[in-house]
Structure 1
Amino acid sequence: MLPKAETAYFAIADISGYTSFLAAVELDHAQDIIADFMDTVVKGLRPPFRLAKFEGDAAFVYTTAGNVDGSLLQDAIEGAYFKFRRRLRSVRQASTCECQACVAMGDLDFKFVVHHGEMVKQKMGGREELAGRDVILVHRLLKNTVAEKVGGRAYVLYSEAAMRAMGADPVAQGLIAHHETVDVIGDVTLWARDLDAAWREEDAQVRNEVTRGDAYATLEFDIAAPRETVWEYLSVPGQWRKWWDADDITEESGKGRRGVGTRNHCAHGNHTNIEETLDWRPVDYYTVGITLPIPGAPKIVMTRALLDGPDGTTHLELRVAKPKPKDKAFVDGAAAKFAERMTAGIARLRTMVEGRQFASSTAVEEPTMQPSTGRFLTEPVKSGAQR
């Protein structure tokens, strides 16, 4: 039988500065550093993406999941990059090695190319690989001139096809319009986001998290599903509506992208609760200010935090901020009703997500990640000593 075509999102995470880095530094620490950073990024992309293969200084990932939420997909790309930047910072602070590789690791960066189209799976060299015109295109798009527009090497470049499939408005999001001409394929419309600028904004953001220690009240639940899955069912209105007892949930975001400032209108009969997002850190937590349709009702601030539990489970904490003394009685009454509804809702959520396989049953087997031994953190070498 001929291979069946499937629709997919494709992405390539490519290390900027790879060639010059390896050419001028100690290879033992250099390879460990590269493996460490690549592992950080690939894990950050899962899910929605799966690893198809490593390609030297790049990782090729994809997802054939049905209706991938566009905001979640963009969060995955940017979140993976933010994890790399946090890892780079922590490694540079922790390492005492003064070899050329450890000194130069700050010159490394990442860029991403994302496309949407068709593919087929075919056997090559004893394993399945992805093939097709769109697979070729996403690889060709790595060679581009977008760095001149963003003024750096850290960016994500979305094809117009990817933006359409996500239902995203690139102009509203402030993305940079770009065009490339690709051999045989022709002119391709693209949209770029400066990831270095996005990182600086993320790093400078004042957090608004209700911590466990500061919470007035905390509801806790354990869910036998991955954190990313639970996050999706908590934050995407279409998924949230499946287990929560609202008649309807309408999302309002001026940028067409979920985050700080997003407002969710939760309708219950003739009444509507409004939740405004005050802090947004996928897939760790988000904080909302809840306004109930009651005259004089205070705004209730709550953080929904997701933590890793044992064996791939998720520990969910709903932390209510301390109210003003005059509002304590109201918050106590509202919290009691909320706890009852949430306990029933989580029971419904568990039936939906626990024990389910969300990856495609026809997915390509993922290659083994190259482990980092962490020698650049534990075994300093003399600068210039080649091995």
Structure 2
Amino acid sequence: MLPKAESAYFAIADISGYTNFLAAVELDHAQDIIADFMDTVVKGLRPPFRLAKFEGDAAFVYTTAEKVDGSLLQDAIEGAYFKFRRRLRNVQQASTCECRACVAMGDLDFKFVVHHGEMVKQKMGGREELAGRDVILVHRLLKNTVSEKIGGRAYALYSDAAIRAMGVDPVAQGFIAHHETIDVIGDVTLWLRDLEPAWQREDEQIRMEVTREDAYAILEFDIAAPQQTVWEYLSVPGQWRRWWDADDIVEESGKGRRGAGTKNHCAHGDHTNIEETLDWRPVDYYTVGITLPIPGAPKIVMTRALLDGPNGTTHLELRIAKPKPKDRAFVDGAAGKFAERMTQAIVRLRSMVEGNQAGSEAMEEPPLKLSTGRFLAEPVKSDARS
């Protein structure tokens, strides 16, 4: 039987500076550093992406999900990059090693290419591989002229096919138009996101997280599904509405990109609650200010946080900020009603997401490259022979 063609999003996370890094440094620490950073990025990409294979200095990932929310997919790409930058900073601060690999790790960076098209799974060398014109195209897009436009900085490069499949308005969202000519394939329209200014904005953003220590009240639930799945059902209006008891949820996100400043209008009969996003950190937490349709009602601030639970489960915490003394009685009453509704709604959410993950037809993922952390625990000194 011939393999069946499937629609898919493809992405490649490629380490910039890899060749020069390995050529000039101590290999034992260099390989460990590369494995550490690649592990960070791949974990940040999944889900929605699954690892197809490692390709030297790159990870090839894909998802065959029928519909992927455009804002979520961009959050996955950029979130994986932000995790790398935080990890790089933390490692540089923690490492006491002065070998050339540890000193030069700051020269490493990542670039991403994303495409949407068709592929087939076929057996090669005893394991399944992805094949097809679009698989070739996403790989060819790694060799591009982007550096001539933005320099050697990190970037995410989306094909126009990916942008259209995501339902994104690239001009409204500030993408840079780009074109490449690929031999055999021809002209390809692309859209570019410079990740360096995106990282600077992320790093400078003022955080408004209600922590466990500062919370006035906390609701907690364990859900047997990955964080990314729970995040999607919490934050994407179409998914949120499926389990929450609202008549409608209308998102107002300006340029079509979810984040700080996004407002959700949750209709309940003749009344509408308005939730404004105050802080947005996929897929760890987001904080909202909730305005109830009651004259003089105080704004209720809540952080919805997702934490890793055992065996791939997610621990959801809904943390309500401490109200002013004069508002305490109102918040107590509202929180009691909210807790009752949320407890009932979580039952519906669990029925939708637990045990319903992508399964039998997905390829088995190869193991991640494990880092032993030698560059942190076993410093080496450079000398004339190294």
Answering whether residue 174 of structure 2 is matched by residue 174 of structure 1, we say yes
Measure, in 2, the Cα distance between the counterparts of 1:306 and 1:364: 27
Measure, in 2, the Cα distance between the counterparts of 1:313 and 1:221: 10
1:364 aligns with: 363
1:219 partner letter = L
Measure, in 2, the Cα distance between the counterparts of 1:101 and 1:326: 58
1:217 aligns with: 217
TM-fit CA distance, 1:386 = 6.2
Measure, in 2, the Cα distance between the counterparts of 1:384 and 1:126: 44
1:6 aligns with: 6
2:107 partner letter = D
Could you list the runs of 5+ residues in structure 1 that have no partner in the other structure?
none
1:206 partner letter = I
Measure, in 2, the Cα distance between the counterparts of 1:384 and 1:303: 51
On the 8 A contact 1:113/1:138 being kept in 2, the answer is: yes
TM-fit CA distance, 1:217 = 1.2
- SS of 1:207 mapped into structure 2: coil
TM-fit CA distance, 1:315 = 1.1
Measure, in 2, the Cα distance between the counterparts of 1:355 and 1:123: 28
Q: What does the per-residue CA deviation read over 1:97-150, in whole Å, with 9 as the maximum and x for residues that have no partner?
A: 100000000000000000000001111111111111100100010011112222
2:239 aligns with: 239
Q: How does 1:67-82 map to 2 (within 5 A)?
A: 67-82=67-82
On the 8 A contact 1:65/1:360 being kept in 2, the answer is: no
1:207 partner letter = R
- SS of 2:118 mapped into structure 1: strand
1:134 partner letter = D
TM-fit CA distance, 1:90 = 0.7
2:42 aligns with: 42
1:337 aligns with: 337
Measure, in 1, the Cα distance between the counterparts of 2:317 and 2:37: 30
TM-fit CA distance, 1:371 = 1.2
Measure, in 1, the Cα distance between the counterparts of 2:112 and 2:273: 38
Answering whether residue 134 of structure 2 is matched by residue 140 of structure 1, we say no
Q: How does 1:25-104 map to 2 (within 5 A)?
A: 25-104=25-104
Measure, in 2, the Cα distance between the counterparts of 1:381 and 1:335: 56
Measure, in 2, the Cα distance between the counterparts of 1:99 and 1:340: 58
Q: What does the per-residue CA deviation read over 1:241-279, in whole Å, with 9 as the maximum and x for residues that have no partner?
A: 111000111111111111011111111011111101000
Answering whether residue 375 of structure 2 is matched by residue 376 of structure 1, we say yes
Answering whether residue 183 of structure 2 is matched by residue 183 of structure 1, we say yes
Measure, in 1, the Cα distance between the counterparts of 2:245 and 2:255: 27
Q: What does the per-residue CA deviation read over 1:184-212, in whole Å, with 9 as the maximum and x for residues that have no partner?
A: 11111111111111111101110011111
Cα–Cα, structure 1 residues 51 and 216, in superposed 2: closer, same or farther, change >3 Å?
Answer: same
Normalised by the size of structure 1, how large is the TM-score?
A: 0.98
Normalised by the size of structure 2, how large is the TM-score?
A: 0.98
Measure, in 1, the Cα distance between the counterparts of 2:112 and 2:384: 33
Cα–Cα, structure 1 residues 290 and 140, in superposed 2: closer, same or farther, change >3 Å?
Answer: same
- SS of 2:274 mapped into structure 1: strand
Q: What does the per-residue CA deviation read over 1:44-79, in whole Å, with 9 as the maximum and x for residues that have no partner?
A: 111000111111100100000111111111111011
Measure, in 1, the Cα distance between the counterparts of 2:140 and 2:383: 36
Cα–Cα, structure 1 residues 151 and 32, in superposed 2: closer, same or farther, change >3 Å?
Answer: same
- SS of 1:371 mapped into structure 2: coil
TM-fit CA distance, 1:384 = 4.3
TM-fit CA distance, 1:310 = 1.4
Measure, in 1, the Cα distance between the counterparts of 2:31 and 2:78: 24
TM-fit CA distance, 1:355 = 2.0
Answering whether residue 373 of structure 2 is matched by residue 354 of structure 1, we say no
Measure, in 2, the Cα distance between the counterparts of 1:365 and 1:230: 23
- Between the aligned residues of both structures, percent identity stands at 86
Q: What does the per-residue CA deviation read over 1:254-308, in whole Å, with 9 as the maximum and x for residues that have no partner?
A: 1111101111111101111110100000011000011111111111111101111
1:129 aligns with: 129
Cα–Cα, structure 1 residues 300 and 280, in superposed 2: closer, same or farther, change >3 Å?
Answer: same
2:113 aligns with: 113
Q: How does 1:256-271 map to 2 (within 5 A)?
A: 256-271=256-271
Q: Which runs of 4+ in 1 moved over 4 A?
A: 384-387
Measure, in 2, the Cα distance between the counterparts of 1:385 and 1:351: 63
